[in-house]
């Protein structure tokens, strides 16, 4: 089965987004966890951005030796030199050179012609290859680049020595069908040259970063660039945990696998939230607080009978300790009985009905029923049984 490599850019693209900045020690902590997760590449930063970022990339490269470390650089000599310096301690360095290729970016942002762009791309990749064994090239805003020119860009990059071609949907504009078609066209133009990996990097402005990444896999892409919790510029990047779990759960559909240790996904997500202080949304796929929580009575009943009824993966698969049956106004009696047993109460059918009525009434008032509320209700209803029975016996006598 083909392997899709996971290129993690949490420390670079993720960190660039507002509220997610990390200092050097925090980057090292997260990089070590990414190594435990078994990502294929860690993009540690953008060295030209500041001396501090350069030193942070260098420190990550020194501390994390088991995973290739990448550093980003514009197609400018000063950028490439900064990246080369930062990557000097890396056991397996990767220089990541990028240049915008859409006519909009070339004209408005860079004031360059297409010919000047092709010259800069070729020159900086050749220069980088003199110092770093592996060079990746990214055509920024590839999704809005004229496809014939994009093919030309890719040919220049390959001829100059790039072994990874990343064609990003930089502004999250693409839809899956057209994003996949772009890669198909480039593959046909290049003729699937030996040793060249196509890579996808998608943003989530229209909420399709993961869908676009998966469409790229179907089109032959074998590297996905993504971030933990989907953090990144604007609406974020493709979420690493969503991409790899989708490929794992639907393995027969995609026909590929990854080397990710799925059981490390939840711990990695939690470490990132600890470092940045930014919590994920409760309904976030895979790692959100509600991803394995069930409140509706019908769902709870199904889960109790067989978890496959409402869960396509077990919580333990991704490192979540346990699922949760949440008691609220939508909950069912079976979930309540199970919860009472876990708390040490064995209720009769009549007692269960009374406890259930009190719990749902409380849920209507407070929206959330806490464990201590259930204990208090259960104690009052169930623990009074012996006294009630004694009074009844006395009356009969």
Instruction: List, for residues 324-365, the tens digit of each pLDDT value.
Output: 777 777 788 888 888 888 888 899 998 888 888 888 888 888
Q: Cα–chain-centroid distance for residue 191? A: 31
Return the CATH class of domain 2-276.
alpha beta
**How many residues in the chain?**
397
Predicted TM-score (pTM) of this structure = 0.88
pLDDT at 397 over 50: no
Q: Where are the alpha helices (DSSP H) in 64-138?
A: 77-87, 103-104, 114-129
Beta strands in 2-112 (DSSP E): 2-3, 5-8, 41-45, 69-74, 93-100
Burial letters 276-288, b for 16+ CB under 10 A, else e? beeebeeebbbbb
* Predicted pLDDT of residue 380: 87
pLDDT in tens, 205-243: 999 999 999 999 999 999 999 999 999 999 999 999 999
* Predicted pLDDT of residue 219: 98
pLDDT at 394 over 90: no
Most confident of 253-257, 292-296, 306-310: 253-257
Query: CB under 8 Å to 237, separation ≥6 — which residues?
Result: 9, 13, 14, 201, 202, 203, 204, 209, 225, 226, 227, 230, 231
61 vs 300, more confident: 61
pLDDT at 295 over 90: no
CATH 3.20.20.70 residue ranges for the chain: 2-276
Of 35, 34, 36, 37, nearest in space to 14 by CA: 34
């Amino acid at each position: 089965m083909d392997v899709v490599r996971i290129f993690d850019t949490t420390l670079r693209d993720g960190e660039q987004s507002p509220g997610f900045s990390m200092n050097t020690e925090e980057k090292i902590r997260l990089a070590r966890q990414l190594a435990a997760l078994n990502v294929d590449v860690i993009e540690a930063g953008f060295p030209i951005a500041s001396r501090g970022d350069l030193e942070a990339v260098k420190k990550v490269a020194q501390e994390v030796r088991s995973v290739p470390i990448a550093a980003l650089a514009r197609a400018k000599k000063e950028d490439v030199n900064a990246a080369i310096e930062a990557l000097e301690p890396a056991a397996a360095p990767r220089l990541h050179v990028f240049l915008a290729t859409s006519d909009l970016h070339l004209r408005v942002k860079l004031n360059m012609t297409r010919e000047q762009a092709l010259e800069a791309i070729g020159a900086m990749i050749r220069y980088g290859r003199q110092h770093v064994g592996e060079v990746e090239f990214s055509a920024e805003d590839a999704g809005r680049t004229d496809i014939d020119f994009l093919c030309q860009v890719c040919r220049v990059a390959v001829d100059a020595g790039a072994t990874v071609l990343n064609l990003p949907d930089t502004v999250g504009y693409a839809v899956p069908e057209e994003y996949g078609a772009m890669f198909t066209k480039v593959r046909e133009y290049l003729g699937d040259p030996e040793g060249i990996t196509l890579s996808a990097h998608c943003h989530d402005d229209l909420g399709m970063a993961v869908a676009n990444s998966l469409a790229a896999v179907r089109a032959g892409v074998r590297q996905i660039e993504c971030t933990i919790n989907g953090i990144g510029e604007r609406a974020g990047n493709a979420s690493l945990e969503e991409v790899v779990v989708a490929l794992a759960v639907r393995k027969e559909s995609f026909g590929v696998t990854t080397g990710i240790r799925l059981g490390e996904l939840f711990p990695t997500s939690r470490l990132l939230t600890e470092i940045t202080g930014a919590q994920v949304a409760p309904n976030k796929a895979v790692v959100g607080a509600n991803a394995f929580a069930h409140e509706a009575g019908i769902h709870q009943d199904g889960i109790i009978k067989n978890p496959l009824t409402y869960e396509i993966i077990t919580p333990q698969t991704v490192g979540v300790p346990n699922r949760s049956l949440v008691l609220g106004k939508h909950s069912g009696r079976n979930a309540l009985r199970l919860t009472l047993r876990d708390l040490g109460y064995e209720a009769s059918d009549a007692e269960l009905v009374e406890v259930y009525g009190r719990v749902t009434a409380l849920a209507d008032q407070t929206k959330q029923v806490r464990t201590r509320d259930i204990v208090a209700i259960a104690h009052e209803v169930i623990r009074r049984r012996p006294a009630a029975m004694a009074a009844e016996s006395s009356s009969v006598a």
